[in-house]
Every structure is written in structure tokens, then in C-alpha cells.
Amino acid sequence: MSDDEKKNEDSKGFEGAAETGDPTAQADAAAEATTADAQSAMSSSGTSAEPAGSAAEAADRDVEPAPAAAAEPVEAPQSFPVTVIVRRYDPEVDDEPRWVDYDVQMYPTERILDALHRIKWEQDPSLAFRRSCAHGVCGSDAMRINGKNRLACKALVKDFDTSKPIYVEAIKGLPLEKDLIVNMEPFFDSFREIQPFLQATGKPEKERHQTIAQRERFDDTTKCILCAACTTSCPVFWTDGQYFGPAAIVNAHRFIFDSRDEASQVRLDILNDQEGVWRCRTTFNCTDACPRGIQVTKAIAEVKQAMMTGVKL
């Protein structure tokens, strides 16, 4: 009997039991029908112990199984030589910084940070630079690469013209300590000065509420990782080391426009200084340099406007 014929017989039995009104007969018929269905389904889907059309069955019947589709050959990425020229300075040996050439084998998807590691680990262990996360989060490896401030861990080799050398030097405007390391203290002094923490009085019952729109007002400036790429790309900061600089203003913005904060005016007064926001000449270097894509110049303009017209949340 075929599967279909068997199913029809089973369903007839079930209907017959239903007509008789005998509950025991109905239950038996239903159980039988279910078992028959399951067996039929297993047979047609090939999930039985000896599935129809399996490789084992084909082997029993001396049938050649179909060959697997040939995989496309994947070309392995090739490394190539890159010349990296680093501005070195050792205060114990050098009177002046000097440029030193290094040839390194690099893959296109590697970063300038990888090139520096390769130089340090394979050629000259005395090379000094900062890095921590290696993934654009900690902000410790800002440096000047081909004249532009970038994070070395985010600068891919394939984005440079590697037929020419890649120049790497320390960020400008902060005291040079060694090779690619600068003294960050003046930068953090300005940051601390603008009081970068929430100041709110009163104890809320549960939490301090904020609408989505109020949170969005300062969302952009919450992304700062304090890498100093903006401040050290600013020509005003290069010539006037006392200027607060874009990063301090960005972090002031983050709290000035926070609806929960009560010290906005204190920060505006701090920045309404001859070394404050009015030093900004709107060159946009800071916005170009920011690895987090923060609209730095816009944030500075908003702080200037808040000084003139009051904070609009």
C-alpha cells in the first residue's frame, strides 16, 4: 500500500470512530493515524535511519555520489615594503629631533600602529610611543601622520600612497618628551579647569529625568576620548599654549548643555576669558582631526553663542 493510500485508510478509521461516538476507539484511531503520519513524513524527508538517496545508499547501489562544487580559489593578501620615517628624539642623547627611516613589510589592512610595533619589536626597541587599546577607544596614540593628526591605530596602510614614505611625528604644541611621546599635563590641566563632571543639587527620589531631545542636545560631545588630536592641530594652540583648546571646550559643552547640570554659567564664565573660546579662529582643523567625528568647531560656536544669549536647552 502506498503512503497516500495508507493515509486515506487511517483517516477513514478515525472518521469511523468519530461517527460511532466511542471515545476509546477515537483515541486509538487518532494515535494510529499520528504514528502513520510521522513514519510517512520521515520517509519522505529522508530523516529515517536509512534515508532515501543517501551517500550510503548510493554506495550500496554502486552509484557515484555527485562531486562537491569546486570552491573559488581565494587569493592570499600580499605584504609589500613600506618606508616609515619617524621623527625621533631622545633627550639624553639628542640636541634636536632627527628623522629616521625604517623599511617594514606591511599588509594593506594593517595600521600605522602595526608598523610602529614592527619597528619596535624587530628593528629598534628604543622607539617610544603610547598606545593601549589599539582600537580607537583609549585615545592614547594620537600622532601626526603625513602632517595630519590621527590615531595610529585607526590609520590604515591602504589609505596612504605607499609609493612614498609615510612620515610619523609627535603631536604639536605640547612639550616633547621622547620620540612620539609628549607631556599631556597642560592638556589635562585645561580639561580639569572646565569642571568636567555633573553638578546637580537636591536628591531625586529615583533618578534625574531627561527627555530624549534633552539628551540629544549634547550627545555629540559625549563621544570625546581625550586624544588631544583636535587641540594639537589648532594653530592658535601652537602659538599660544595658554589657550584652553578645542578639547576642553568640547568637554565643557557636554555639561553646559546637559539639562541636569546646574553649573553651566560657572563653565561659561571660565571660558569667557582671553584664553577661552574667543581665541578660536574657526579654522576647522579640530573638526578635521577628530577621530570620533565630533563637530568640534560647531560645539565651540554653540558655547560662544550661549555666552551671548544664554544656554538654550
3-state secondary structure at position 181: strand
Residue 106 vs 184, nearer CB to ligand SF4? 184
Supply the minimum distance, in Å, between the C-beta of residue 140 and ligand FES: 5
Annotate each residue in 80-119 with x if it binds ligand SF4 (CB under 6 A) or - if it does not, as one string: ----------------------------------------
Q: Check the CA dihedral 290-293-298-300 and report its sign.
A: negative
203 Rama sector, left if φ>0, alpha if ψ -120 to 50, beta otherwise: beta
Residue 134 contact partner, candidates ligand FES, ligand SF4, none, CB within 5 to 8 A by sort of partner: ligand FES
Please, which of residues 118-177 interact with ligand SF4 by CB under 6 A?
139
Which positions touch ligand FES (CB under 6 A)? 131-134, 136-141, 151, 153
Residue 136 contact partner, candidates ligand FES, ligand SF4, none, CB within 5 to 8 A by sort of partner: ligand FES
Task: Say if residues 225 and 204 touch (Cβ distance below 8 Å).
Answer: no
Partnered with residue 306 across adjacent β-strands are none
Residue 55 vs 133, nearer CB to ligand FES? 133
3-state secondary structure at position 162: coil
Report the Cα–Cα distance between both ends of the chain, in Å, rounded: 80
Q: Check the CA dihedral 172-175-181-187 and report its sign.
A: negative
Nearest to 241 by CA among 189, 179, 195, 178: 189
Task: Say if residues 249 and 190 touch (Cβ distance below 8 Å).
Answer: no
Supply the minimum distance, in Å, between the C-beta of residue 291 and ligand SF4: 6
Counting every residue written for the chain, the total comes to 313
Position among 112, 194, 263, 296 found at the interface with ligand SF4 (CB under 6 A): 296
Residue 108 contact partner, candidates ligand FES, ligand SF4, none, CB within 5 to 8 A by sort of partner: none
> C-alpha distances in angstroms, 284 versus 116, 196, 287?
29, 23, 5
Supply the minimum distance, in Å, between the C-beta of residue 215 and ligand SF4: 19
Annotate each residue in 263-292 with x if it binds ligand SF4 (CB under 6 A) or - if it does not, as one string: --------------------------xx-x
294 is an interface residue for ligand SF4 by CB under 6 A: yes
- Which residues of this protein are in contact with ligand SF4, per CB under 6 A? 139, 224-230, 246-247, 250, 289-290, 292, 294, 296
